[in-house]
Structure 1
Amino acid sequence: MRSDIIKPNVTKQLLFAIVGTFIAAIGVRLIVVSGLGADAISTLVLGILQHVPWKFGTVSMLFNGIILVIIFFYDRKMIGFGSIINSFGLGFCLNILDWMGILHTIPNGTGYLSIIAGSIVFGIGTGIYLLADAGSAAYESLMILLKRVLKSSVKVARIILDAIIFLAGFLLGGHIGFGTLIVLLLMGPSLEFTLNHLPTMKFFRVREAK
């Protein structure tokens, strides 16, 4: 009797992890440059930047790196090559955009347009990364760890984690504004749309019967 073995297409996994991370970085940059508020991690990073003379991407890489070290000792099975690409690649891409002078500023009066577009692009990029199925990103791994510790649902763990990170960022000097609500409202649906619809196209499926 013949049985098909489902194996991942490593080339696609690598492509989706890199492309998704780069798209997510563009989304983050659009959100931050709006000046209207940001996602949880960006709020924390912006708070930290009030106290150190580093670049946004560098602090992002350091934060994700610390989380990955914690996750590695807690449950290394959650980490894959995609985890490394996303955790360090996001900050690297942000530094590249900064170095190239892309999205340093936006025209006056386009702040809301920027944060709306950024939230959607961030969700799409995160979705494409997740389709790679090559390991959990640092923040998602931290959420899973918190879920296990609290014995709660994913939703509750995410809310608590976001609240802690937002609070820490705010106390450090990060800005929380109306735009933060926009990010929370738009990022999730765009992520869900990406995860639900892209896999209907054969190109976006990384696992195939061998």
Structure 2
Amino acid sequence: MGTTFLRGGLDSFTAVNTGISNKLGIGLGVYQLAVNLVIFIFILWLDRKQIGIGTILNMVLVGFEIQWFTTIYHQLFGYRTTFLIVAADTLIGLILFTLGASLYMAPDLGAVPYDAIAPIITQRTKLSYRTARITQDVLFMVAAVMLLSHIDKRTYHTIYNALQTTETMRNNMSEYSTSDLRSQLKIVRHNMANSKEMYDSFVEQERLLQDELNKRIAKAKNK
């Protein structure tokens, strides 16, 4: 729940997972579980003392919980992002996030797979925990920035390439064989299905924004 409120400023690990899951077109819960399983295998091999019930619960549930709480958040509060909302979300998110972390860290119920990386590095190298953890978080933060910015660039290139493909197809239609036409038709229909899902999402966003605007206009007229 804390991470949901902090989605305007995620921790570096969740930010990387969000970027990659968006790029691959799969849910954050599924992708984060897969990544945690990979890290979990290395923890089993390098330092299984780090593992506890908190490790398992965090590894399996957190990604799906973020998706679930995000849906509830948008249903309750919509998509508004004013300064006051961001400030309130940050404050609430930090309190919930640190409370949630302390509930399993204080009684030593096991480390989150991501959090176990720095202690293992400290044990096996001469680096201090502070240096190892800061380096780890900075590297993941850089990766998150690169991934999330790449998504924006990819959206632009997707639209540009679609326009270019349409123009090329229009100019060369007569040169396509019947087999080429069938192959291209399959590709276009597949792209249409993917685009429809994206379009439906934008339509829902537009509806939510318009409904909120209509409510405010009606409220202003009543005054």
1:48 counterpart = 2:20: yes
Aligned-pair distance for 1:69? 1.1
In structure 2, relative to structure 1, the CA distance for the partners of 1:174 and 1:94 (3 Å cut) is farther
**Please, which moves more after superposition, 122-131 or 141-150?**
141-150
Rounded to whole Å, the distance in 2 between the matches of 1:54 and 1:45 is 11
Aligned length: 145
Query: 1:28: which partner in 2?
Result: 3
In structure 2, relative to structure 1, the CA distance for the partners of 1:159 and 1:91 (3 Å cut) is same
Q: TM-score, normalised on structure 2?
A: 0.59
Structure 1 unmatched ranges of 5 or more: 1-25, 176-210
Contact 2:28 2:64 in 1 (8 A): no
User: What value does the CA root-mean-square deviation take over the aligned residues?
Assistant: 2.0
Query: 1:115: which partner in 2?
Result: 90
Q: Which amino acid in structure 2 is aligned with residue 39 of structure 1?
A: D
Aligned-pair distance for 1:131? 2.5
In structure 2, relative to structure 1, the CA distance for the partners of 1:72 and 1:127 (3 Å cut) is same
Contact 1:83 1:138 in 2 (8 A): yes
1:86 counterpart = 2:54: no
Which structure: larger Rg?
Answer: 2
1:159 counterpart = 2:134: yes
Aligned-pair distance for 1:106? 4.4
Contact 2:104 2:110 in 1 (8 A): no
Query: 1:7: which partner in 2?
Result: none
Contact 1:86 1:137 in 2 (8 A): yes
Rounded to whole Å, the distance in 2 between the matches of 1:166 and 1:149 is 24
Contact 2:43 2:116 in 1 (8 A): yes
Aligned-pair distance for 1:162? 0.2
Residues 128-183 of structure 1: CA deviation (Å, up to 9, x unaligned): 121332222112211112222332222111101101111111221269xxxxxxxx
Relative to its length, the structure with more helix (as a share) is 2
